[in-house]
Structure 1
Amino acid sequence: MQLAAECRSELTEHILPFWMKLKDPAGGFYGRMTHDLSVQTSAPKGVILHARILWTFSSAYLTEKNPAYLETARHAYEFLCKAEDAEKGGVYWSLDAECAPFETNKYTYCMAFAVYGLSLYAEASGSKAALDFALRLFSVIEEHAAQPNGYAESFYADWSPLENDHLSEHDLGAAKTMNTTLHLIEAYAELFRITGNDAVGKALAKLLHLMAERIYDPEENMLRVFFDENLNVLGDLHSYGHDIEASWLTDHACDCLGDGELTGLLREIDYKLALHIEQLALDDGFLYNERFETEIDKTRVWWVQAEGVIGFLNAAEYAARHSDAVVCERMLQNAASLWAAIRFAQIDPREGGEWFGELEPDGTPRPANDMAGPWKCPYHNGRMCLEVMRRTGILCELLAM
């Protein structure tokens, strides 16, 4: 498929080279590049950013076997080692420009991404130390954050409770979030796939049941986003990007776990989510960002578009396996239309740029958004390219049957 060839080119000739140039000889990667392509060499370095770089280059190496990708992953891995709290466990939120602890609070979301990146680096490099690090973080998450009805979100360095200031929005003060649940699923799925560890598998199954039975709202056909301590819903927010992302990530987690009952339950939910996002949020080749109460945010966010491509390809595969050629073709067209819109407007045409983080509804880039930073990373768009490359082959086989 042409789509796969174009995405491979985007990955290997644009996305990965951009991030490789941000490597800091002092350790890790520079923590920020502004919209005007100015590298802020003194900026703090986010641990989430580095965990996502680690995942991206490890995954790219596994696919492309380019030694430069593994070396780049190693550079990110060495940074993560510096971010570990050797005394109390876990990883910090950020390090300073010289790679000393900066923001020392601990977030379950951040640690999930560290597990995700470390798992793939262990697979790519064969590093037992990296795999041990991932399992160590899994154990500390389960010890300090796991609760009967979800996971606590945030802690001070000594693991005493901290108000969730980084992952709660709209002044809701959420004690638990769908976002952290989803990315724990993502991380634990890879760790279980690589290790087969029984404790990891049990924790993953618990998270998948939580997603299907408490976070998914069957009446509204959506994932609820924010919750109090007892998993009561807070606010009326519908995150279109997280729904389409979850629609394929939880499918993949079920594949890793191999639980037939959970797979049957979540496959149907995930397919419904993708069809609902098509209906609510797809407009002129782009996906809207979210709805809060009655207001729809039509910002064209880079990661939402990337996850949309994967989500619609995943839905196309589901439709193909269930002999629904009409829906399969429609989902394929949705993915192709999103990719065309990304190429036209989301990818930065300037020399030295990557993808614009946000576009106005008319397609104009928002200059307040960084090109690289604590949240702006290569994982969503890099993963999109890798998933397109993998999934188009599967779809070609299914459609030829």
Structure 2
Amino acid sequence: MELKSQMHNELRSILDYWVKNAIDEKNGGFIGTIDYTETKQYNDPKGSVLNARILWAFSASYPITQNKEHLQMAERAFDYIARYFYDREHGGVFWSLNYDGTPKDTKNQIYALAFTIYGLSEFYAASGNEEALKMAIALYKKIEEHSFDPLHKGYFEAFTRDWQPIDDLRLSDKDANEKKTMNTHLHIVEAYANLYRVWKDEKLKQVAAGLLETIDKYFINTNSKHLRLFFNEEWVEKEDVVSYGHDIEAAWLLQWCAEAIEDVNLTAIYKKHAIVLTEGALEGLDNDGGLWYELEMHNNQMIEEKHWWPQSELWIGLVNAWQLTGDKKYLDLTQKNWAFVQQHILDKTNGEWVWGVNKDYSLIEKDKAGFWKCPYHNSRACIELIKRLP
């Protein structure tokens, strides 16, 4: 299939950008920010999520590309995380560092710990590095010790460096300040499932299965076909937005998690959810094949931006739906979105993908690389399609 060979090419192109541009030769690790003009901001903070996602992307890509340079990038990311981001005193992960590697924001945002586990377990799979596996297991145990809510189930969002309660729980300014969120739960179970692939621990399997049951109970609205995003500790929902990107990411990723932990019953449940959530996400599909960002529920107002990452997740969700149903419409929509991405999201001059475009296709002037702009969603989309397409 031509699309499969195009994914091989696109994966190499994405990785090539990061190899050539993201290494911080001045301060170590990777540059904190490359802005939309391709200006490298060497003095900007370095984010834990960016570094964990670089670790994952190059670790996951190496078995496909067999390019030693990609394994070296993963090793660089691991070394920097182990030396600077990993908190050996309290057993967490610093949210951010100053450009010189000194701690900046020392809170334990569980989302960041989850992505670090995700990256470490993938790196262990690619390299056999035992220290990476030990760190991943230690972080998993810290999450279970401090973040799990034994009374109401689910996980709390954030803590201080020494695991005390914290007032501001948000991942970013746009999020609601609530104690339990879909986004964090999605990425904890993603991390646990990936860890289980390389560490067949029965307790971990039970914990991951319990989390998938919690997500099924609270976060998936089969009536609206969308995810519920924000809750307090007692599972009282705070309605916010419809996030089409998260709908389609959860559609395939939760099924993948159920399959990874080898749970037949949960896999059956999440295969059904996959189709429901995919159809919900397609409500945000524009005529040009691009996926809109979000819908504000309180005024039914579309946020008329098309960001890079929902397009990536759309590919996997659609191909997964095609695999489940055999319905060619999903494959056709994948091709249509790929054409949209090629026309409007790929940076044909500098490489990689832009943050996104507005309704009139003007550039959204945000990072090419940074706290949230990472080689994770788009590389994973290429990897998954390479694995799934004939």
Cα separation, partners in 2 of 1:168 and 1:53, compared to 1, 3 Å:
closer
Task: Map 1:1-16; keep pairs closer than 5 Å.
Answer: 1-12=1-12, 14-16=13-15
Superposed displacement of residue 279, structure 1: 3.5
Deviations 1:18-70 (A, max 9, x none): 11121123321000001110000111111100000000000111212111110
What secondary structure, in the 3-state scheme, does the structure 2 residue paired with 1:150 have? coil
What secondary structure, in the 3-state scheme, does the structure 1 residue paired with 2:41 have? coil
What secondary structure, in the 3-state scheme, does the structure 1 residue paired with 2:224 have? coil
Matched AA of 2:137: L
In structure 2, distance between residues paired with 1:45 and 1:90: 16
Superposed displacement of residue 218, structure 1: 2.1
- Counterpart in 1 of 2:197? 193
Cα separation, partners in 2 of 1:354 and 1:244, compared to 1, 3 Å:
same
Task: Map 1:83-102; keep pairs closer than 5 Å.
Answer: 83-102=85-104
In structure 1, distance between residues paired with 2:281 and 2:87: 40
- Counterpart in 2 of 1:118? 120
Whether the 8 Å contact between 1:238 and 1:290 is mirrored in structure 2 is yes
In structure 1, distance between residues paired with 2:196 and 2:168: 28
Superposed displacement of residue 298, structure 1: 2.2
Whether the 8 Å contact between 1:287 and 1:300 is mirrored in structure 2 is yes
- Counterpart in 1 of 2:66? 65
Query: Alignment partner for residue 131 of structure 1, among 126, 130, 133?
Result: 133
- Counterpart in 2 of 1:376? 373
In structure 1, distance between residues paired with 2:174 and 2:103: 29
In structure 1, distance between residues paired with 2:335 and 2:66: 27
Provide TM-score, normalisation by structure 2: 0.95
In structure 2, distance between residues paired with 1:187 and 1:172: 23
Deviations 1:343-393 (A, max 9, x none): 11100122x3421112101221112x0111000000001111111111112
Indicate yes or no: 2:357 matched with 1:355: no
- Counterpart in 1 of 2:17? 18
Aligned residue pairs: how many? 383
Whether the 8 Å contact between 2:357 and 2:364 is mirrored in structure 1 is yes
Cα separation, partners in 2 of 1:346 and 1:374, compared to 1, 3 Å:
same
Deviations 1:246-269 (A, max 9, x none): 011011111111111111111101
- Counterpart in 2 of 1:325? none
In structure 1, distance between residues paired with 2:101 and 2:175: 32
Superposition RMSD in Å:
1.3
- Counterpart in 1 of 2:341? 342
In structure 2, distance between residues paired with 1:172 and 1:275: 26
**Share of identical aligned residues, percent?**
36
- Counterpart in 2 of 1:49? 50
The worse-fitting range, judged by mean Cα deviation, of 102-111 and 282-291 is 282-291
- Counterpart in 1 of 2:229? 225
Provide TM-score, normalisation by structure 1: 0.93
Whether the 8 Å contact between 1:164 and 1:175 is mirrored in structure 2 is no
In structure 1, distance between residues paired with 2:23 and 2:11: 17
Whether the 8 Å contact between 2:295 and 2:303 is mirrored in structure 1 is yes
Query: Gapped runs of 5+ residues in structure 1?
Result: 321-327, 394-401
Superposed displacement of residue 166, structure 1: 3.3
Indicate yes or no: 2:149 matched with 1:147: yes
Superposed displacement of residue 171, structure 1: 6.7
Task: Map 1:242-321; keep pairs closer than 5 Å.
Answer: 242-293=246-297, 294-320=300-326
Whether the 8 Å contact between 2:108 and 2:161 is mirrored in structure 1 is yes
What secondary structure, in the 3-state scheme, does the structure 1 residue paired with 2:92 have? coil
- Counterpart in 1 of 2:188? 184
In structure 1, distance between residues paired with 2:33 and 2:108: 21
Cα separation, partners in 2 of 1:73 and 1:269, compared to 1, 3 Å:
same
In structure 1, distance between residues paired with 2:104 and 2:206: 34
Whether the 8 Å contact between 2:308 and 2:345 is mirrored in structure 1 is yes
Whether the 8 Å contact between 2:109 and 2:171 is mirrored in structure 1 is no
Whether the 8 Å contact between 2:170 and 2:177 is mirrored in structure 1 is no
In structure 1, distance between residues paired with 2:374 and 2:33: 10
In structure 1, distance between residues paired with 2:88 and 2:283: 48
The worse-fitting range, judged by mean Cα deviation, of 255-264 and 113-122 is 255-264
The list of structure 1 runs, each at least 4 consecutive aligned residues, that deviate by more than 4 angstroms after superposition, is: 168-171
Whether the 8 Å contact between 1:172 and 1:235 is mirrored in structure 2 is no
Query: Gapped runs of 5+ residues in structure 2?
Result: none
Cα separation, partners in 2 of 1:168 and 1:74, compared to 1, 3 Å:
closer
Deviations 1:204-258 (A, max 9, x none): 1011101111111122121100111111110242111001000110111111111
What secondary structure, in the 3-state scheme, does the structure 1 residue paired with 2:302 have? strand
What secondary structure, in the 3-state scheme, does the structure 1 residue paired with 2:93 have? coil
Whether the 8 Å contact between 1:31 and 1:97 is mirrored in structure 2 is yes
In structure 1, distance between residues paired with 2:377 and 2:203: 28
